[in-house]
């Protein structure tokens, strides 16, 4: 039942992490997308502020948007500050957008942001996952598997 993990992206500094998404959804395919940000948003992210716990991504008019992500206002950002919860455009190739649109429309999947991070070149990126929601019994199975792994590790540590 467990799928192999896809190759990880080059993450230098993780700013926001959506840990709950890995529990609530079965992740299928990962995408790396750039974000269209204003200057004060980038500065807030560089200070390590940001939250994507309640956010999601949607395909609208051939573009992908990150909705409900919270990047707080920059403390020194006078009148040019940004709105904390504005929709932000995600930068993907046309082929990737069409693939995501088809999966969301036909297969009932959803786009879940997993992390916001800065890559090796200093660009802000979002790790998006094409995911399907887990049912309650799947979540219980995940909890059982996690507890068993923890118990097995504890027993192995005790025995040497």
Report d(CA 57, CA 132) in Å as an integer.
Answer: 13
Q: What is the pLDDT of residue 84?
A: 84
Residues 6+ apart with CB under 8 A from 23: 134, 139, 142
- On whether the pTM is more than 0.75, the answer is yes
The backbone torsions φ and ψ at residue 83, rounded to the nearest 5 degrees and listed phi first, read: -80, 130
Please state which architecture CATH assigns to domain 13-134. Answer: Beta Barrel (2.40)
Q: Dump pLDDT digits (tens) for 100-148.
A: 898 888 887 889 999 999 988 889 999 999 988 878 887 898 889 889 9
Residue 24: CB atoms within 10 Å: 14
- List the chain domain ranges: 13-134
Q: Dump pLDDT digits (tens) for 87-108.
A: 999 999 999 999 989 888 888 7
Q: What is the pLDDT of residue 68?
A: 92
């Amino acid at each position: 039942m467990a799928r192999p993990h896809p190759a990880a992206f080059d993450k230098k500094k993780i700013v926001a992490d959506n840990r709950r998404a890995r529990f609530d959804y079965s992740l299928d395919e990962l995408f790396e997308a750039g974000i269209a940000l204003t200057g004060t948003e980038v500065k807030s992210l560089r200070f390590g502020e940001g939250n994507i716990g309640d956010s999601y991504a949607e395909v609208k008019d051939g573009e992908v948007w990150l909705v409900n992500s919270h990047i707080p206002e920059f403390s020194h950002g006078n009148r040019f500050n940004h709105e904390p919860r504005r929709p932000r455009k995600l930068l993907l190739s046309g082929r990737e957008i069409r693939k995501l649109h088809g999966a969301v429309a036909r297969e009932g999947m959803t786009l879940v942001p997993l992390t916001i991070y800065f890559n090796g070149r200093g660009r802000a990126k979002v790790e998006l996952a094409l995911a399907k929601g887990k049912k309650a019994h799947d979540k219980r199975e995940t909890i059982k598997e996690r507890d068993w792994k923890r118990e097995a590790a504890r027993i192995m540590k005790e025995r040497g």
